[in-house]
Amino acid sequence: MTRSLIDHTKTESTKTEPGLCPDCETDTIVHDPDRGERVCKECGLVLTEDPIDYGPEWRAFNAQEHDELSRVGAPLTQSMHDRGLTTTIDWRNKDANGHSMSADKHGQLHRLRVWQERIRTKNAGERNLKYALSEIDRMVSALGVPKPVKETASVIYRQALEQDLIRGRSIEGVATSALYTACRKEDIPRSLEEVTSVSRVDQREIGRTYRYIADELDINLEPTNPRQFVPRFCSELDVDKDVETKAVEIIDETTQQGLHSGKSPTGFAAAAIYAAGLLCDETIPQRAVADTAQTTVVTVRNRYREQLEAIDQAPA
């Protein structure tokens, strides 16, 4: 076997790797990036050399160069009915050099775009899936939730479609329910009322479809913690950080007592913010808190009194 002594001046650039040396049976195997070798630091045995580099043969020094030199397309996505595998024709009537095309070319490109859209969907099932995923994309944009939520919602809708859970239900209702389920799975605080506000179906249908899909797909979700809504509500109300901290403390203490059981998490969070404002001597109108949480003033009033009594604070 080939042996090589390790230069002790380069030990800082080496990285210890798991495994035992077959020669001296010590766990001092390191990776030498300068030589591209895995070497035993104790006896100098070279275990592997000249590894295959699966990276690109070019170097990029900024993001623009990386995009220009890259020869791969966009990754697969579940949020498109064809998973992003088909090509698209740009809407701009310009050639590769950025020059405008003639009128005849404009008409030809228009016909190509029409046929491109037609061949992307083979049957009614794909057309329905395309419409549902476009609805999810629209609602995600309106709610301002991150991209992973859209991917999760698309996967949930595809699973519901494969198990024939769409039959007898509207596409919009199932798509909205999938999005609400995805928000809860990804711990993104969006209430059912907020999701309903950007949907094309009513809240009753969304709630009924959500429970049906979660049960059929065996999706077990923990109850929503009211404290998830506190940072966003406090940001919209523009209150001090002390109020936000106090509201979280109120929620933690009252939820340990089980006071939140059976109550709306958004209303419970709104009441905690109002109660925290009273304890921190900051005036927050009940109407403003209720409108931010999309709940009623009566709910805020009842909940905050219960919370103050639970933490042994006399309500004002």
Question: Binding site: what residues are annotated?
Answer: 21, 24, 40, 43
Exposed/middle/buried for 48, CB within 10 Å: 0-12, 13-18, 19+?
exposed
Q: Cα(103)–Cα(165) distance, rounded to whole angstroms?
A: 48
The CA distances from residue 10 to 15, 28, 61, 106, in Å, are: 10, 15, 26, 62
Q: Which residues are annotated as a binding site for Zn(2+)?
A: 21, 24, 40, 43
Asked whether the beta carbons of 247 and 230 are under 8 A apart, the reply is yes
Angle at 159 (CA atoms; ends 146, 214), nearest 5 degrees:
80
Asked whether the beta carbons of 268 and 251 are under 8 A apart, the reply is yes
3-class DSSP state for residue 156? helix
Nearest CA among 161, 174, 254 for reference residue 208: 174
Structure-block tokens of residue 288: 């403003």
Q: Cα(198)–Cα(211) distance, rounded to whole angstroms?
A: 19
Find residue 100's DSSP bridge partners: 94
Alpha helix (H) residue ranges in the chain: 63-69, 103-120, 124-143, 147-162, 171-185, 192-197, 203-216, 230-237, 241-256, 265-279, 286-293, 297-310
